[in-house]
Structure 1
Amino acid sequence: MTKQIFKPRGQNTTRAIAANVFSLCFPLFLVDAVRRVHPVALQQFHLLPPDGADLAPGLLEDDPRIVIASAWIDLTDGPVVLHLPHTHGRHFDLTLIDTAGEPFASLGTRTDNDDGVDVAVVGPRWSGEVPHTHLARRAPSDACWAVSRIHAHSPLDRPEAEAVSRNQHVSSLGRRAEHRTDHVTSLEPPAVSSLRQVIELGPAVFFHRLDSVLDRAPIGFERSVRPLIDQFRRDLDGPPPVSSWSPDLAEALELGFADGLAAIRAATAAISESRGIGWHAVAVPQHDESGASLAQAGRAYSSLGAPAREELLTLVCEHDGHGRPLRGDRSSRLRFPPDGLPPVRGFWRLHTRPTASGDKRHGIGDRNDLSPDDDGALSLIIHDLPPAPGDLGNWLSAPHGEMCLIMRLYAPRGEALSGAWRMPPIEIVDLDVDGSRPGGASSESLKPNRRTPS
């Protein structure tokens, strides 16, 4: 059973209740802000801009080759079919997210569903039969959010990947709607980010919208959390109409909302591994029917809209093995030992944030022509200047100054998800002192080429 996040104490009872209500309902309001951006009368996929982080924090994207599309799906009138096209060898994933921000289904290349498939999405209370030619997925709520990602083969292939994405469309079960790709529009991001809208939501507007937001909540939330929310509201006497709020009540509610937001932000940091030395995983929402929690609110705050963890594991490193912040103007090396490459069923890619202005490849990974060391290890060079010509293939162009490294594992294997496999530390290569390179290659080959590349 869901427990109160903050325990009321004496005169702080109202403030503590407000913190509980805000924290428990935060994911619902954040997803509702996403819903409001989509056209009300049209269930259809819409292409998102290259960086859709204003729509949802999990849509932050550094790789311009990834084409993201979004659709808000209303299931109140019955099941809906998502018609997904053949991606012609491009990596693809579709994530279905409930109204509490948690993914309840994902499919695509990982599940061998990238050759064209129809997915019937049914509501939590619907009963009936789905054609045997369709995949069936049951949503925990009467509405859901669909996010698809198609990875272009290269930046030059992006227009073709967008054309494939435009072939995604939506229809009611049993009736295939006429589909025209020229009707697939781009979705304009909100003028104020969805996250900021909810953060800045005052108690008056919050309680005004609360009933309609709760009515869209998933079944699990309705059963386990709604009674607690109702009790909190009774403790607040409704709360009464805003016009009758006393200054003390208004102040207590405002302070309670600030407490709730602070707790969510603290949970966001806590659900990641240590941000000190080494790599930490970026947390993503995960389906959990046990009820709302601070951890779920924290995941929504940091990564609503991100692919499910089984589709993408993102690892971040901000410091070298000695705890020093990473810098692009220091020569760094990431060395995978023999038989120690990232375990994936899809592919992996390493890039910097911010991206170097001269990085034409937008990171490097196992789809590039990488050269192993003499002993079978793989050494990647990270610097803001290119190395000697023989090592250019293993060079990741870095920005000048402080940076972080992002490793993405697409369709990661179990050992990556469990933590049995870990990323190696970042080594700082002192080229003026170190005269050898692991694997037998001279560190001279790692020395940055100080000449301006042509």
Structure 2
Amino acid sequence: MICQKEAQGSGRPDQDHLLSLAVEAYLFGFASVEMFRTMDDLARAERNGLGLDFNRFTHARRLAASDSKWLAAPNTEMLYSNAWLDLSQGPVLLEIPDMGSRYYVVQLLDFFANSYAHLGSRTLGNRGGRLVIEGPGWSGQVPEGLTVLESPTSFAWILARIHVRDGEALPAVNALQDQLEVAPLRASGQSLAVGERWPRFRNRSAIDFFVNLDQVLRRNPPLPGDAGWIARLRQLGLLGDQSLEADAIDPGLRGILERAVAIGQQRIAERESQFETYCPGWIWEGLSAGSGARDHLSRAASAKAGLGILCAEEAIYPLAYVDAQGHPLDGRCSYRLSFSPQELPQAKYFWWVTVYELPDYRLVANSLSRYVWGSVRGRLDPAADGKLEVLLQPDCPAGSSSNWLPTPAEGKFAVALRVFGPSKAMLTGRHRLPQVVRL
């Protein structure tokens, strides 16, 4: 049985100290446990046609809709392809095809949900390329002339997005997905099935969070800046000689860990609505979005809202949770978002607005299967005063529905603005957006 270790110079450790440590461990590990959960979901569910072996691309062949559950706050205008990497046996070769004039981005994330590369239209160009991705500490020869990227963790994720133009048939984009390739640089002879390399994700009780975290860290040690966490986590029974098992935890320590999960969840929920102010009525994660520069709480809150947030130079995601009066957006009410010409998002590529149901950031089911409004939808017709406006409400407005974006019939929701290729003014916060106004 895993017992509470004695504190130096006393009979038992200080309970408050262990609780504080367990809360911080929850925040430290939340994003990596979400990575494990997502990988496990994709590996074992026939969801959106996605199955999973390591070092192999799988593809979502249709755009995200209200029944898409595998990723929070999904992007509805791009097709996803993803590959989970096992770099513990050696590097992989990544091949990206020529995308023509189409926008795309191939995002590389470590197992702590930090982005370490964005390969795409902005950085790599549209002709694609061939690159090698290696794990931490690997030393060996790679074919001459290939760019080498190092993943900070032995297991990692590739999340690719390819833009689907308005009204375009999907087979043309599916063909580009099929040309994305990843494979071991040298065959290891070991099975690449996720189910044979990792245990099942556990989600029976709050205590299973720490069981999952123990499994993650055995395969992906904390990054150099977090190396001190190894000794601290051992105080909680993690990273011992044997894998952590829930039924082997001392009842006293078990109670502390369960309380820590509840407190950690509350802190994450509070942090979600307290990101940096982008402009009045809108918040965002700031210029450190998606990077390893985030503190543990910010990283956890970001993972709760959705894994795979792109770096700010690639795209920004201002969020509105409240109306112009500061009241939470409510499905029982109707709202208007009205852009003057000066307030329109400044984007090199495109922008759009999406509504997400809270707390899980799911798309809103509606009769038109409409989830976005913005420049990706072609021509936008301005009102008589020159403004572009969208009505946010559960029911279709009388007359034209072209400027209607459905909201849930009840409950809270968020309005998300995606801007791909934001201008410098948008990155620095000098650009102002209109607030959501209740009608």
Give the structure-2-normalised TM-score. Answer: 0.73
Asked whether the 8 Å contact 2:59–2:82 carries over to 1, the reply is: yes
Asked if 1:149 corresponds to 2:182, the answer is no
Asked if 1:262 corresponds to 2:266, the answer is yes
Asked if 1:44 corresponds to 2:49, the answer is no
Match of 1:343 in 2: 346
**1:361 Cα offset (Å):** 8.4
2:254 to 250, 254, 266: 250
Match of 1:167 in 2: 179
In 1, distance between residues paired with 2:405 and 2:316?
A: 22
271 and 198 in structure 1: CA distance in 2 versus 1, 3 angstrom threshold: farther
**1:365 Cα offset (Å):** 1.6
Asked if 1:206 corresponds to 2:219, the answer is no
1:278 to 267, 281, 286: 281
Match of 1:357 in 2: 367
79 and 149 in structure 1: CA distance in 2 versus 1, 3 angstrom threshold: same
Asked whether the 8 Å contact 1:352–1:406 carries over to 2, the reply is: yes
1:108 to 87, 109, 120: 120
231 and 163 in structure 1: CA distance in 2 versus 1, 3 angstrom threshold: same
What is the DSSP-based 3-state SS (H/G/I as helix, E as strand, rest coil) of the residue aligned with 1:137? strand
What is the DSSP-based 3-state SS (H/G/I as helix, E as strand, rest coil) of the residue aligned with 2:128? strand
**1:56 Cα offset (Å):** 4.1
Structure number with greater Rg is 1
Asked if 1:370 corresponds to 2:374, the answer is no
Match of 2:429 in 1: 419
In 2, distance between residues paired with 1:229 and 1:216?
A: 14
In 1, distance between residues paired with 2:248 and 2:331?
A: 56
Unaligned runs of 5+ in 2: 1-11, 44-50, 188-193, 195-199, 357-363
In 1, distance between residues paired with 2:243 and 2:92?
A: 38
270 and 341 in structure 1: CA distance in 2 versus 1, 3 angstrom threshold: closer
Asked if 1:61 corresponds to 2:74, the answer is yes
Matched to 2:388, the amino acid is: S
Deviations 1:371-408 (A, max 9, x none): 56788x5422426556777xx87x34445856653321
Match of 2:320 in 1: 317
Asked whether the 8 Å contact 1:75–1:143 carries over to 2, the reply is: yes
Match of 1:294 in 2: 297
In 2, distance between residues paired with 1:32 and 1:241?
A: 17
Give the structure-1-normalised TM-score. Answer: 0.71
Deviations 1:297-347 (A, max 9, x none): 222222222333332212233444344647798573512234x43122211
In 2, distance between residues paired with 1:333 and 1:263?
A: 30
Match of 2:391 in 1: 382
What is the DSSP-based 3-state SS (H/G/I as helix, E as strand, rest coil) of the residue aligned with 1:29? helix
Unaligned runs of 5+ in 1: 1-7, 176-186, 188-192, 430-454
In 2, distance between residues paired with 1:286 and 1:161?
A: 26
In 1, distance between residues paired with 2:237 and 2:408?
A: 53
Deviations 1:68-125 (A, max 9, x none): 1110111122221111122233221111110111111112122243322222212221
Asked if 1:223 corresponds to 2:233, the answer is no
Asked whether the 8 Å contact 1:101–1:304 carries over to 2, the reply is: yes
**1:232 Cα offset (Å):** 5.0
What is the DSSP-based 3-state SS (H/G/I as helix, E as strand, rest coil) of the residue aligned with 1:115? coil
344 and 132 in structure 1: CA distance in 2 versus 1, 3 angstrom threshold: farther
Matched to 2:258, the amino acid is: E
What is the DSSP-based 3-state SS (H/G/I as helix, E as strand, rest coil) of the residue aligned with 1:419? coil
164 and 42 in structure 1: CA distance in 2 versus 1, 3 angstrom threshold: same
What is the DSSP-based 3-state SS (H/G/I as helix, E as strand, rest coil) of the residue aligned with 2:88? coil
Match of 1:86 in 2: 98
**1:140 Cα offset (Å):** 0.8
**1:15 Cα offset (Å):** 3.0
Matched to 2:232, the amino acid is: L
Identity %: 20
In 1, distance between residues paired with 2:338 and 2:126?
A: 32
264 and 256 in structure 1: CA distance in 2 versus 1, 3 angstrom threshold: same
* Cα root mean square deviation, aligned: 4.1
**1:10 Cα offset (Å):** 4.6
Structure (1/2) with the larger helix percentage? 1
- How many residue pairs match? The answer is 393
Match of 2:82 in 1: 70
Asked whether the 8 Å contact 1:281–1:314 carries over to 2, the reply is: yes
In 2, distance between residues paired with 1:344 and 1:265?
A: 30
103 and 241 in structure 1: CA distance in 2 versus 1, 3 angstrom threshold: closer
